[in-house]
Amino acid sequence: MLRIMKYLSKAEIGQMLIALVTIVGQVFFDLKLPDYMSDITTLVETPGSAMADIWIAGGKMLLISLGSVACAVVTGYIAARVGSSFTQRLRSLEFRRVESFGPAEMNRFSTASLITRSTNDITQIQMFITIGLQLIVKSPIMAVWAVAKIAGEGFEWTLATGIAVVVLLAAIVVMMAMVMPKFKAMQTLTDNINLVARENLTGLKVVRAYNAEDYQEAKFTKANTDLTETQLFTNRVMAFMMPLMNTIMNGLMLAVYWIGAYLIEAAELTDKLTVFSNMVVFSNYSVQVIMSFLLMSMVFVLWPRADVSAQRVLEVLDTEPMIENGTKTAADVAKTGQKGTVEFRNVSFAYPDSREAILEGVNFSARAGQTVAFIGSTGSGKSSLINLVPRFYDATQGQVLVDGVDVRDYDLKTLRDKIGYVPQTSVLFKGTVASNVSYGDKPGESANVELADTSTVAGRRRETELIAAGRAAENAAMPADQMDRIKTAADVAQASEFVNRMDGGFEAAIAQSGSNVSGGQKQRLSIARAVYRHPEILIFDDSFSALDFKTDREVREALAREAKDSTKLIVAQRIGTIMNADLIVVLDDGKVVGQGTHKELLDTCEVYRQIAESQLSKAELMA
């Protein structure tokens, strides 16, 4: 928990120091009250005391109480403010870190776990800062101060208080030993329940198609029961703490009064009033001691779960992506004189969690404007190969060069600005058709990326400006030239036909994950998104599989016409998609077994010929 405090800003640290002063002030006022109570008791018991003196002492006591309340309000306000701004920063930092993760890091943290870490875990940290930090500072100060005040009041009373504190601490240690492992397990179980729920929601069609509702319900019930039983165990143990505290506090009060009665009886007549007054003061101070440990016990309720949550958040923040950013900018790359070239030099690749290489000794080159296709059986390494170009992974051996520069030397933004990528699984975002096609090229994008420090007045004002700018950008009418580019990209992807039939056309709403359009429509919009950027290199990772043969041909013809300057790297399963490619690379078990044109490979590559003959007739192959 302490390590995560390094992300506190200077302003927040300053506010916490102010809160420390107010906490000390509150403790001072609380421990001053028994002194005035003693004065009032003495005045009441002393014959001939003036009523005015009692009123004066009572007024001072009231002012002290108001001072304690004022300090408590200020402390609570500062704690809530620091907790909110700090956790807002943590969420933003965690989101940014996750955005830098590659597939290797995403495999380490499940999607459900990352969601839990940025929501539930952050909330646990916020609760601890808002409540726990006040208690963890206040309770020791109060305990030490109160003990110091009562230490000289009477050996018997001090001994009774010491025994009560020892019993209390022993009980807290035992209970913490019981619940700490459960608190650690609780966050993992929360991950699990999120995983099952997310899996069920995203796969709802499959669940219904296979009548697997009962099976999914059983999975969720088990995850829900595991979490509930763990929570019940910790709640039962912690619920035992409050009655125990009250029992010890009441027992101590009885002991104080019993010892006081004994001391009063044994005292001289002239000393009885003094002993009685000391007993009143001591009883109040002893309650303060027990209350301080009661507050500390509440810290022990919040601390374990917050500590586990902080460790989980730090795991994300401390994870360095395997893909390190290079230094070559667009100006550096321009000096090579190349544009749109891709070259693989003796490239081998193995996934981080695999011992065997999935690609071995791959060599080929693509010149600007060429179409290079990759074909092979399932699992032959086609997708893995093209994923090395935008650096989703890095080659374990050899070099991948873009425009004559090793991709590992590139600034990642510069490299990916050169690439238009269409993945195997089409991904659409909630918004409109136009916003999805122009994704990554939105007005106000730079404003949305900025992170304001909300711990200061200026920072909160800036945050408000950023939110307003982002909303204005989303609602602003798209410039005419941008809309023309969107329509041209949609025409190339053969998407304009169905988009124009949608209610609102290019301003038609796209639901989350594109659930309101078909698979083929999603794929065409994904292709339009890549074409819209007019990149130097277009990568299609089996991106034509959901298209019929006619649409497939029309898209390829439009690409050849409108994106003739772009180098096209195409992974495909259909021979008809790649027959006209300038270069076809045939992969088998991670190795290149043939390179050439369609006709050349029919004569020289047995693997390619078998794939081709399984899909097309001899007449179609020779056409």
Contacts of 197 (CB under 8 A, 6+ apart): 220
Query: What are the Cα distances from residue 91, in Å, to 313, 388, 470, 544?
Result: 9, 30, 19, 38
* CA neighbor of 96 nearest in space, from 316, 301, 304, 280: 316
Looking at 203-271, list the stretches that DSSP marks H as alpha helix, in order from N- to C-terminal side: 204-209, 213-239, 241-266
Is the separation of the CB atoms in 95 and 87 below 8 Å? no
Same domain, 251 and 368: no
Instruction: With respect to residue 476, please indicate whether it lies within any of the assigned structural domains.
Output: yes
CATH of the domain at 429: 3.40.50.300
Final residue in a domain of this structure, among 318, 343, 358 = 318
Is the same domain home to 162 and 79?
Answer: yes
Query: Do 404 and 533 fall into the same domain?
Result: yes
Tell me the per-residue pLDDT of 88-99, one tens digit each, with 9 for 90 and over: 999 999 999 998
pLDDT score, position 543:
86
Domain count across the chain: 2
User: With left for phi above 0 and alpha for psi between -120 and 50, is residue 513 left, alpha or beta?
Assistant: left
- Domain CATH code at residue 120: 1.20.1560.10
Least confident of 177-191, 265-279, 354-368, 474-488: 265-279
| Residue 312 shares a structural domain with residue 365 | no
Residue 72 counted as domain residue: yes
Evaluate the CA torsion angle 163, 164, 170, 174 in order and state its sign: positive
pLDDT tens by residue, 526-535:
999 999 989 9
Does 175 lie in the same domain as 89? yes
In a domain, 621, yes or no: no
Domain closes at, from 318, 350, 378: 318
Query: Residue 78: inside a domain, yes or no?
Result: yes
- 290 is written with which tokens? 């027990």
Shared domain for 272 and 354, answered yes or no, is no
Q: Which residue has the higher pLDDT, 135 or 226?
A: 226
Q: How far is CA 573 from CA 168, 281, 364, 477, 490, in A?
A: 71, 87, 20, 41, 24
State whether 143 and 26 are in the same domain. Answer: yes
Q: Are residues 394 and 293 in the same domain?
A: no
Do 314 and 336 belong to one domain?
A: no
Final residue before a domain boundary, out of 270, 298, 318: 318
Question: How far is 296 from 376, CA to CA, in rounded Å?
Answer: 65
Query: Does 448 fall in a domain?
Result: no
Q: Picking from 354-368, 438-452, 593-607, which range would have the lowest pLDDT averaged per residue?
A: 438-452
Report if residue 92 sits inside a domain: yes
pLDDT given for residue 425 in this prediction: 86
Task: Give me the domain span that covers residue 564.
Answer: 330-443+456-615
199 and 339 together in one domain: no
3-state secondary structure 255-306: HHHHHHHHHHHHCCCCCHHHHHHHHHHHHHHHHHHHHHHHHHHHHHHHHHHH
Confidence of residue 291 (pLDDT cuts 50, 70, 90): confident
Which tokens hold the place of 466? 């950023």
Residue 158 region, left (φ>0) first, then alpha (ψ -120 to 50), else beta?
alpha
| Residue 622 located in a structural domain | no
Q: Is residue 513 part of a domain?
A: yes
